Structure 1
Amino acid sequence: MTHTPRRMFELLEPICLVSFLAGECNEEMAALGHRTYWDGYFAGRAAPLGRVPAEVVHAAFYNFAEGEAARHIPSAWETIPPEASVAARERGSAASLRRILGAETAGSPGLARAADLTTKAATNAPMEGRVMYAGMRTLAIPSDPVARLWHSATMLREHRGDGHIAALVGARIGGTEAHVLSALAQGIHPPESFGRIHHLPKERLAAVMNGMRERGLVDNDGRFTDAGRETRDRIEALTDELAAPPYDALSPAELDELVAELEPITATLVAAGSQ
């Protein structure tokens, strides 16, 4: 069961990453009036939830440190409506995909078919307990195939992310602790040097590492214990399992077709670093 959602994550993630790595999305956000990259990030990703307060965004995003969401929300809504940020994010992401893939691939029947099948999967998943996914589901599905592929891939990314958070909560792994486990799984040591957390106050990082040592997840040198590695593997396996339902909407033949259509698209994006 878990090989399908893992493979689909590998194929769809490079499509979603243009929103964060390519220049066009950031330019669209800046043109709206968002002052920094992180203003645009929080506004664009949280916008499907509507004019929610920082506490809701912090809870839904899960892995940002206390106070980080509040530096951008709700100030993002004061002059720029969420709907405008949604539209800008879509425009920029679709523009990035067209540039990276080239006109021939972007306008191909294969990409249009991939968009249709991705949308079929993305619109046939349960919403209960999936806050970020539910927000994306409230948005209109673009008619343009490139924008539709990005939109539906992002729906599936948020669906998977919601399930990942559920797995983390069940394992009693907090947001910063999740980054430590991810860093160690990537071979980054010390894990406090990981780019997602290295900027946090040293006292905060020390408290997180001490707590993980007390629970037996890391050793005195800040490396995985067997229990820590097993915890991380269990979370990833459950994340895959919880990400499976959307793909039940596709027949085996449709799933094979989707993989075949996405593989060259993803290969091009990976080669470009999604930027």
Structure 2
Amino acid sequence: MTTAALEPRAGRRCQNMLNSLHSTLYFAPETGEELGALGITHPKAVNFAVRAAAMGAVGAGAVTAAFYNYKHEAVARHVPAVWSVASPEAVLAARARAVDRSLRRLLGEEAVASAEITEAARLALRAIEGCSRGARPLYSAHADLPVPDQPHLAYFHATTLLREHRGDGHLAVLMAAELDGLEAMVTHTATGKGMTPKWVFVTRGWSQEDWDAARGRLRERGLLDETGELTPEGVALRQEIEAETDRLDAAPYRRLGAEGVARLTELGAGFARTAAMAGAFPADLLGKA
């Protein structure tokens, strides 16, 4: 086992690169096409199904709890009804087809067949050996899935596991900070690194009225000012949240070691950059506007 010390935030930087490629799934037209062929056509139903399918035919409550920042009423409009249209097993198979098609389009056939993606898959899968299941429902559900044989799909599988491992821990930190799902998104957007309100409304089911109410609660706590910017207390809280999330998510990157993390970050950044340049994400996805 590797025990080399990591630079501060090394694991976070690595995971950010891996998550950038993983997140392409939710914006890829191939995802809608493959699930549409199963009869799942509403964009929110597609989103809930592809991410929740690993947990089985769960109800709206389980999805809202595990996803955290979605409006429960938006979830309940599609879950558990979506499982009467297609089983979780069928959705997972469709998701794999969508990932295969979208990565070939975004990265190119040469990259998909490259030694670099094989190396990235090997490193990411080694990191997963340091993950833990306790209190991590989305990670644990995905950890039950088999590792695909093809390197680009194995890499995507590993990025999913590392994303959900960090995400599950992050939710525990948000709860400890007494931020509900929408308040967490408002504060993240205020950093300039989160989704714009437009995309929060489109993807998470919240309204402008909900957003404004959350901002009001955060102003009462002294975390936002009257213009919607983070106060010094708000900035400090977001920094504490990320630092504590780093602590809870450190084990897989310790397992990989400093050299392995640096190499995986380098490879992941290259794949993420290629995907972004190929138009993987909407231009107005991130920011404060």
Could you tell me the TM-score, scaled by structure 2's length? Answer: 0.87
Question: 1:170 corresponds to which letter in structure 2?
Answer: A
Query: Per the alignment, do residues 43 and 253 of structure 1 end up closer, same or farther by CA in structure 2, a change over 3 Å counting?
Result: same
Q: 1:192, 1:205 within 8 Å by CA — same for their partners in 2?
A: no
Tell me the CA shift for residue 187 of structure 1.
8.0
Identity value in percent: 36
Alpha carbons of structure 1 residues 217 and 45: separation in structure 2 relative to 1, 3 Å: same
1:192 Cα offset (Å): 8.8
Matched with 2:31 is 25
Give the alignment partner of residue 174 of structure 1, picking from 171, 180, 196.
Answer: 180
SS at match of 1:68: helix
Match of 2:11 in 1: 5
- 1:196 matched to which residue of 2? 200
Q: 1:187 to 1:17 in 2, by over 3 A?
A: closer
* Equivalent residues of 1:49, 1:132 under 8 A apart: yes
* Ranges in structure 2 where 5+ consecutive residues have no aligned partner: 1-5, 282-289
Q: Is the 8 A contact 1:216 1:228 kept in 2?
A: yes
* AA aligned opposite 1:23: P
Take 1:45 and 1:28, find their aligned partners in 2: how far apart are those partners?
A: 14
- Tell me if structure 1 keeps the 8 A contact 2:166–2:245: yes
Q: Which amino acid aligns with 2:119?
A: R
**Structure 1 96/226 Cα, relative in aligned 2: closer, same or farther at 3 Å?**
same
Q: Confirm or deny: 8 A CA contact 2:38 2:85 kept in the other structure.
A: no
One of 109, 115, 124 as aligned partner of 1:118: 124
Which of 70, 73, 91 in structure 2 is aligned with 1:85? 91
Kindly provide the amino acid, as one letter, of the partner of residue 255 in structure 1. V
Match of 2:50 in 1: 44
Alignment of 1:67 onto 2:80? no
* Distance of aligned partners of 1:147 and 1:66 in 2 relative to their CA distance in 1, 3 Å threshold: same
TM value normalised by structure 1:
0.92
CA distance in structure 2 between the aligned counterparts of 1:42 and 1:168, rounded to whole angstroms:
21
Q: Which moved more, 1:35-44 or 1:243-252?
A: 243-252
Q: Cα RMSD over matched residues? A: 2.1
C-alpha deviation, 1:62, in angstroms: 0.2
Whole-Å separation in 1 of the counterparts to 2:33 and 2:273: 25
CA–CA distance in 1 between the matches of 2:101 and 2:178? 40
What one-letter code is carried by the residue in structure 1 that aligns with 2:32?
N
Preserved CA contact (<8 Å) 2:54 2:88: yes
Across the two proteins, how many residue pairs are aligned to each other? 273
Unaligned runs of 5+ in 1: none
